[in-house]
Amino acid sequence: MKKEFAVIGLGRFGGSICNELAEQGMQVMAIDINEERVNKFAAVASHAVCADTTDEKVLKSLGIRNFDHVIVAIGDDIQASILTTLMLKELGVKKVSAKAQNDYHEKVLRKIGADHVVHPERDMGKRIAHNMVSNNVLDY
Ligand code: ATP
């Protein structure tokens, strides 16, 4: 059976995850509080929904606990990111990945049970630096 994903927050980060999952043929529900952003993903995702994910009733009505993997890609509104992640874990979502805005945010996300925390700018910087070093090693 195909894995079912939900992406919450359709900015550059969440949007690109959503596009890539759909491209790979996965079932993906795209969720954002901003209707314009939701409309942009209506043709890409299996379902695109306008919703505030800090509302537990909303998360329940979306049947979020039945998804295999939920990605919380809300960045700037740290409170919304934390509250959403906490409720996803409380509702029993097996795998939750969340985007952290800074080290404190990351620490809280881990404490409340996020299974995987990404720090896109920092992680990408690390990866690029590693590639530069290994390319240098090969060059000499
Ligand atoms: P990126 O850095 O990925 O480009 P961004 O800077 O556009 O993102 P962020 O603040 O990181 O914006 O938020 C990402 C998305 O999360 C936005 O599209 C925003 O509308 C959405 N979002 C914020 N709060 C909520 C919420 N409570 N429920 C659902 N979506 C939300």
Q: What is the pLDDT of residues 4-60, one digit of tens each?
A: 999 999 999 999 999 999 999 999 999 999 999 999 999 999 999 999 999 999 999
- Dihedral, CA of residue 35, residue 37, residue 41 and residue 45, to nearest 10: -70
8, 29, 74, best to mutate for ligand 1 pocket (most atoms within 8 Å of CB): 74
Q: Which of helix, strand or coil describes residue 42?
A: coil
Gap from CA of 32 to ligand 1 centroid (Å): 7
Gap from CA of 129 to ligand 1 centroid (Å): 28
Q: Would you say the CB of residue 106 lies under 6 angstroms from ligand 1?
A: no
Decide if 30 contacts 18 (C-beta within 8 A). Answer: yes
Instruction: Categorize the per-residue pLDDT at 140 as very low, low, confident or very high, splitting at 50, 70 and 90.
Output: low
Helix ranges, the chain (H): 12-23, 35-40, 56-61, 78-90, 103-111, 120-139
Mean pLDDT, residues 95-109: 96
Placement of tokens 């996300």 in the chain:
109
The whole-model pTM stands at 0.93
Q: How far is the C-alpha of 50 from the C-alpha of 69, rounded, in Å? A: 19
Gap from CA of 3 to ligand 1 centroid (Å): 24
Across the strands, what pairs with 116? 97
Mean pLDDT, residues 49-76: 97
Gap from CA of 80 to ligand 1 centroid (Å): 9
